[in-house]
Structure 1
Amino acid sequence: MAINRIYLRASTDEQDSNRERDNMLSFTTDKFDGAIITYTENYSGTKLQRPELAKLLDELQEGDRIIIEKVDRITRMTMDDWDKLKRVVKEKGAYIVSVDQPMTHQQADNPLMEVLTNFILDIGAAMSREWWETMKKRQRQGIEREQKADAERPDTEKKYKGKQPDVKLRSAIKGMLLDGAKQVEITAALKCSPKVIVAMRKELKEAGKL
């Protein structure tokens, strides 16, 4: 029997994450038969390479459903990467169900329905990527405006200080590295970027502590 594989890209807000998980479990139980497995991670939707998503795709079997709340939970990727993900799903004989898109709730049983379903998912993927790119552009523009304004202010009145390092997170990463933890274990425990872990490992090595 097909397995229902719920993919949750968790919010940083625990309450919102729990709400989404409960809603997804309720939807899946009411709509489909079969076992339910959940995959949850706090990772950028712009990346194809995500630990839990990779695990889901690796475990995927013919007839399985990948269930998402909406398309932007699984992708804000480039269309090339989105096509790669869809190709893996198709080769496995599985399909994607988006809760907010009723047309995706049933497995396509003819070529026309398959085309229409893919079209709906592709539109959602494109809109998701466009939204992310717009937000990043606005962020860059805001930073540039502040930096330009700061150039005319005295040092004591400067407002733009850039992104500040998370001292507590960096300390926790160093502690786990010193205890011998692996990168994947640190990422899972602290929900942090691998780049930060690499930087902290480099600092510890340069200080002769690793």
Structure 2
Amino acid sequence: MFVRAYLRASTEEQDAFRALADLEQFAAHFGKTIASVYSDNESGVRLDRPDLMRLLRDAKKGDILLIEAIDRLSRLNEENWKSLKRVIDSKGLKIVVRLLPTSHRWMTDEKTDLQTERLLGIINDLLIEIGAAQANADYEVRRYRQAQGIATAKAAGLYKGRPQNIKIKEKVWSCLDSKFSIRKTSDLLGCSPTTVKRYNREWLTTRGTAN
């Protein structure tokens, strides 16, 4: 059984690895060691996150998918969550959530009778489903309130748009000046290809080569 930790932060400015020490301590409490760490700086509403996809490719039956909270794995809508859950189940992965005690049983070697095992599994799956639905609902509420705030600010002539991360932008431009590809730039800087592509469009525009 491998313990595969998955970390996620929504933006490049946030530290996806902030929870790693807590997850390592959690695993050690059960006499386990985290074998592999996967991290994405992507929104939880995206299904095609690079390291999440890599984790699913690497996973073997009986492995543990260890996360801090459900919203680190998913803020997906119902359809995409069902798709992700089907893949997780088909791979034989067990989801363990540090903040969800009912899932901790997968970290132990304790044996129970078949009926109890099934009952605990049903309860845990239900709580994970509720957590996934709540994570998506929280995202949708925040997005709605943000849209309201932007509309109000625009009406008052106060909206200036989202500020750019100048340091990341300068590093991306430097890599592009050195003829690095989008993927290589992303790997070198540890930022998402989406971020690199956004700054690449600006980089092309400044050089008068944008389509």
- Asked whether the two chains share a fold, i.e. TM above 0.5, the reply is yes
Q: How far apart are the structure 2 equivalents of 1:123 and 1:53?
A: 21
Cα displacement (A) at 1:198: 2.7
Report what 1:207 is aligned to: 208
Moved over 6 A (4+): none
Worse overlay, 75-84 or 54-63: 75-84
Report what 2:103 is aligned to: 104
Q: How far apart are the structure 2 equivalents of 1:39 and 1:127?
A: 24
> Share of identical aligned residues, percent?
29
Cα displacement (A) at 1:35: 5.3
Q: How far apart are the structure 2 equivalents of 1:75 and 1:40?
A: 13
Residues paired across the two proteins, number: 198
User: In structure 2, which of residues 107, 117, 123 is the aligned counterpart of residue 116 of structure 1?
Assistant: 123
Which amino acid in 1 is paired with 2:102?
M
Q: How far apart are the structure 1 equivalents of 2:88 and 2:7?
A: 17
Distance verdict in 2 for CA 1:68–1:29, change over 3 Å: same
Instruction: Give the conservation status (yes or no) of the 8 Å contact 2:62–2:93.
Output: yes
Equivalences for residues 34-183 of structure 1 within 5 A: 36-107=35-106, 110-150=117-157, 159-183=158-182
Q: Secondary structure at the match of 2:53?
A: helix
Structure 2 segments unaligned to the other structure (5+ residues)? 107-111
Distance verdict in 2 for CA 1:10–1:188, change over 3 Å: farther
Q: Secondary structure at the match of 1:136?
A: helix
Q: How far apart are the structure 2 equivalents of 1:94 and 1:193?
A: 26
Which amino acid in 1 is paired with 2:204?
L
Instruction: Let me know the Cα RMSD of the aligned residues.
Output: 2.6
Instruction: Give the conservation status (yes or no) of the 8 Å contact 1:174–1:204.
Output: no
TM-score (norm 1): 0.82
Instruction: Give the conservation status (yes or no) of the 8 Å contact 2:17–2:39.
Output: no
Structure 1 segments unaligned to the other structure (5+ residues)? 151-158
Instruction: Give the conservation status (yes or no) of the 8 Å contact 1:77–1:129.
Output: yes
Cα displacement (A) at 1:167: 4.2
Report what 1:155 is aligned to: none
Instruction: Give the conservation status (yes or no) of the 8 Å contact 2:24–2:33.
Output: no
Instruction: Give the conservation status (yes or no) of the 8 Å contact 2:9–2:43.
Output: no
Distance verdict in 2 for CA 1:105–1:197, change over 3 Å: same
Which amino acid in 1 is paired with 2:129?
D
Map Cα deviations across residues 49-105 of structure 1 (whole Å, 9 max, x no partner): 111111111100011000011101111111211111111111111110011111111
Q: How far apart are the structure 1 equivalents of 2:34 and 2:150?
A: 48
Cα displacement (A) at 1:192: 3.9
TM-score (norm 2): 0.81
